[in-house]
Amino acid sequence: MSEEFKSLVDISFDKGTPFWLHTKDYIFGMVPTDNDRWIEVSYTFEDPDEPFFTTERNADLSFQFLLEEVEKGVSFYVEDLKVPLLKEFANSLEGSSGSEKMNAIIAELINNSDKYSGNLPIIKSKDQLGILKEKV
């Protein structure tokens, strides 16, 4: 399982910019594929049976799942997360395609993470992927 996860991490930047976040309990990611689709990735450290899970979705659904994870999942770990500000940004993307929304929200969170939290646990560049692989 962990080798499959590490392989996916290694290729995650091959088709665009992925979104990766990590907490003490799990890793969550959205990895772009061809044809406006994304692979949602989760690795839950305390799950002995199936810690690694992936599912592929279209960009519109992936956008909704990414927002839900950041707004609900990460806010449990990051006390200073400004969820209303993130929702405001997401709402500004109304009318864009799913792919445009995914690329815009990922770029916003990577490039302006301090605007939303002083300690948002995300991977900002390919150079930081080792952080994820060390955790598994």
What pLDDT score was predicted for residue 15? 95
pLDDT band at 106 (very low <50, low <70, confident <90, very high): very high
End-to-end alpha-carbon separation of the chain, Å? 9
Chain segment 14-55, per-residue pLDDT in tens = 999 999 999 999 999 999 998 789 999 999 998 888 899 999
Is residue 56 within a helix (H) or strand (E), and if so which, with residue range?
strand 52-58
Note whether 30 and 60 are within 8 A (CB): no
CA 29-32-38 angle, 5° bins: 75
Kindly state the helix (H) or strand (E) to which residue 44 belongs, with its residue range: strand 37-44
pLDDT of residue 48: 81
**What pLDDT does 1 receive?**
60
pLDDT-derived band of residue 85, with 50, 70 and 90 as boundaries? very high
Mean pLDDT computed over every residue of the chain:
94
Give me the residues paired with residue 113 across strands: none
The counts of H helices and E strands in the chain are: 6, 4
What's the rounded Cα separation, in Å, for the pair 31 and 43?
14
Supply the pLDDT for residue 47. Answer: 85
| Cα–Cα–Cα angle for 34, 16, 65, rounded to 5 degrees | 75
pLDDT of residue 96: 96
> What is the residue-wise DSSP string for 27-42?
EEEEEE-STTEEEEEE
What predicted TM-score, i.e. pTM, was given to this entire model? 0.93
78 neighbors 117 (Cβ within 8 angstroms):
yes
